[in-house]
Amino acid sequence: MIHFNKPYLTGKEAHYMYQAVYSGKISGNGIFTQKCQNYFQERYGFKKCLLTTSCTDALEMCAILCNIQPGDEVIVPSYTFVSSALAFVRQGAKIIFVDSMKQHPCMDADIVESLITPRTKVIVAVHYAGVACDMDKITDIANRHHLLVVEDAAQAVDSFYKGRALGSIGHLAAFSFHETKNIISGEGGMLVVNDDRFVKRAEIIWEKGTNRAEFFRGEVNKYGWVDTGSSFLPTEIVSGFLWAQIENLDAIQERRKQLWNTYYETLKPYADKGWFKIPTVPDYATNNAHMFYLVCNTFEERTNLIAALRDGGFLAVFHYLSLHKSPYYQDKHDGRMLPVSDLYSDCLIRLPMFYELTFDNISDIAAIIKKYYEYDGH
Ligand SMILES: *Cc1c(COP(=O)(O)O)cnc(C)c1O
């Protein structure tokens, strides 16, 4: 059985973890943590990076840094992972869900302005499949209404909007290194701070509300409890794992793009027949090959296609049940219909996508899809 994801190991992970274990400093904010953070800062122009134990944690830090108070409103797409909303809900926010675009699951920036009220504080731009939201539109709206922009860049490592790295555009951004993402550390994430105003406080929140990071740099002669916070930093063992992945980022990205392009070329003729839709990448965005998905015409069609692929030895999956309809949030939602989000919830299917997938696998998957639509589906 070929799963939809297989975590890829570059070979150096255990080596660096061993180094971390015997370095004499295993807790967080050591040499590997700093190597990883510096890499991202230098390569992508992020102002300040802090590794976290997950993207969810990084988003929670964002919610604290945005100073979310009970009743504040945060605009979030409904078609996203729970954490994009949950992190803000934990601080008391009311989530105002926004629908997706018809041509792409990212949020429809043209609707955002109509959702703004005097209580709105933050827009969370989720770069679905590593493909950018329309950040000029979102930034412009945010500036005119004095809102903060948080990029949920969980899937968006090494991807760009009009030449600018995703994660460098919002006031704050959050990345994930969960084992399903392009580069991984099992569980892991990173907060990016692009606005100077938040840099110092971010470090304090990261270190349990203390100014320990300053103390370690010798900037203060004692440290103590100065703010709210939590233990958001990963151990050096995890950062060592991540460093091995970072060293291979270019090779990983190149391979994933080859696989993605092969899917695209192979399946495009079928999409042209109207059997299903394949991903589109707007002119302003790049594709980091995080995900290859199809959008089926109906829910039943998707269910049957997943079954056909499973019979052929491939586990394709669907994801994201519209958050505005979730058991946890449906009673708190303001009742607006979000039909495009629901469409992706019902009809989107993710095909296997990982470094060690082969071109033969893709041919086999395409053959199953072709047979399904030619004989069974229609
Ligand atoms: C994976 C993902 C997250 C959560 O990442 P974790 O590191 O597992 O906390 C958040 N948002 C999006 C869009 C994701 O894809």
Task: Tell me the pLDDT tens digit for each residue of 298-351.
Answer: 999 999 999 999 999 999 999 999 999 999 999 999 999 999 999 999 999 999
Q: Give the whole-angstrom CA distance, residue 75 versus residue 120.
A: 8
Distance 37 CA to ligand 1 centre (A): 19
Q: Which of 176, 177, 191 to mutate to test the pocket of ligand 1 (most atoms within 8 A of CB)?
A: 176
Contact 233, 207 (CB under 8 A): yes
| Cα 326 to ligand 1 centre (Å) | 17
Atom of ligand 1 nearest to the CA of 181: 1
How much distance in Å is there from the Cα of 290 to the middle of ligand 1?
A: 13
| Ligand 1 centroid to residue 62 C-alpha, Å | 14
340-353 pLDDT per residue, tens: 999 999 999 999 99
Check pocket membership of 176 for ligand 1, CB cut-off 6 A.
Answer: yes
Whether ligand 1 lies within 6 angstroms of the CB of 178 is answered as yes
**Six-digit token string for 23:** 């370095």
Q: Where are the beta strands (DSSP E) in the chain?
A: 48-52, 73-77, 94-98, 120-126, 148-152, 160-161, 164-165, 172-176, 189-193, 292-295, 348-351
Which atom of ligand 1 sits closest to the CA of residue 155?
15
Whether residue 52 has its Cβ less than 6 Å from ligand 1? no
pLDDT (0 to 100) of residue 376:
66
What pLDDT shows up at residue 378? Answer: 53
pLDDT at 186: 98
Say what the pLDDT of residue 375 is: 85
What is the average pLDDT value for the chain, to the nearest integer?
97
pLDDT at 30: 96
Ligand 1 centre and the CA of 27: distance in Å? 24
pLDDT value for 206: 97
Dihedral sign for Cα atoms in the order 195, 56, 248, 13 = positive
59 close to 152: Cβ distance less than 8 angstroms: yes
What global pTM score does this model have?
A: 0.98
Measured between alpha carbons, how far is 370 from 358 in angstroms, rounded to an integer? Answer: 19
How large a percentage of the chain has pLDDT more than 90?
98
- Whether the per-residue pLDDT at 377 is higher than 60: the answer is no
Q: In ligand 1, which atom is closest to the CA atom of 127?
A: 13
Residue 77 pLDDT more than 70? yes
